[in-house]
Amino acid sequence: MDSFEVYTTYVALKTHFSRKTYDYFKYQGEVKVSKEKFATRNDIYFFEKISLKYDKEQTIKYFVSNFLVNSNFHILQMNDNNFAEWNRKMQSISYLFLTDLDAIIERSGSLNDAFQCSNGHSDLLKLYLGGRIMMETLIMLNRLTGFIERYDDILSTDVIWKPLSFTLKKYDPFLQGSPEQVKELVLKKL
C-alpha cells in the first residue's frame, strides 16, 4: 500500500464516520481524491509512515480505532496508542463482552431490565456512558435485539443518544462476530 492509497483510505473512513450519506462498505472505500491535491499536502510524511508500517487491513483498523476516539481526528492527531488499545480489546473481545454482561446483570438484575428505556436513558446506556461497558457490547447486543432502532424512536430528541447511535451504526460493520456467536455468549450468562 503506497502513501496515496493510505490517504484514500483515510479520507474514505473519515467520511464514513462523519457523514450519514457515505458508507465505506457500500462504496468499497472509493472517494474522489486526486494525486495532484495529495501531492500539495504538508502531511504526506504521515501517510508515507503509515504505508511503511501497516498493510491494508491494519491501516483500516488503525484509522477505525482512531476515529472511534474522535471522528474529526486529523492524520497528525492519530496515534499508535489508540490502535494498540483497540487491538488488545479485539484480542479478548469475548471475555470482555462476558465481563460487561456481568456488569449489566449486576446493575439491572436481568438483560431485559437493562434495555428498559421509558424515562430517560436505560441502565445499558448509563453503564456505557459511565465507562463500565464498552461500545462493542452495545453493538453485539444490538445484533441480537435491534434495540438501536427502538432507542432512535424513544430518544429521538436526546442530544447524547443521537451521536452515539450514529457511531454505533457506523462502527458495526467493522466489528467481527455474528449474532449466533453473540447469542451463544449471552446464553452462557443466563
Tens digit of each residue's pLDDT (9 = 90 or more) over 49-75 = 999 999 999 999 999 999 999 888 888
Give percent above pLDDT 90 in the chain: 87
Per-residue pLDDT of 125-181, as tens digits, reads 999 999 999 999 999 999 999 999 999 999 999 999 999 999 999 999 999 888 898
Q: What domains sit in the chain, N to C, each tagged with a CATH number?
A: 3-83 (1.10.8.60), 92-189 (1.10.220.50)
Q: Does the predicted TM-score (pTM) go above 0.85?
A: yes
In the block, residue with C-alpha cell 467520511 = 15
In the block, residue with C-alpha cell 434495540 = 147
> In a 10 Å sphere around its CB, with 0-12 CB exposed, 13-18 middle and 19+ buried, how is residue 40 labelled?
exposed
Per-residue pLDDT of 7-17, as tens digits, reads 999 999 999 99
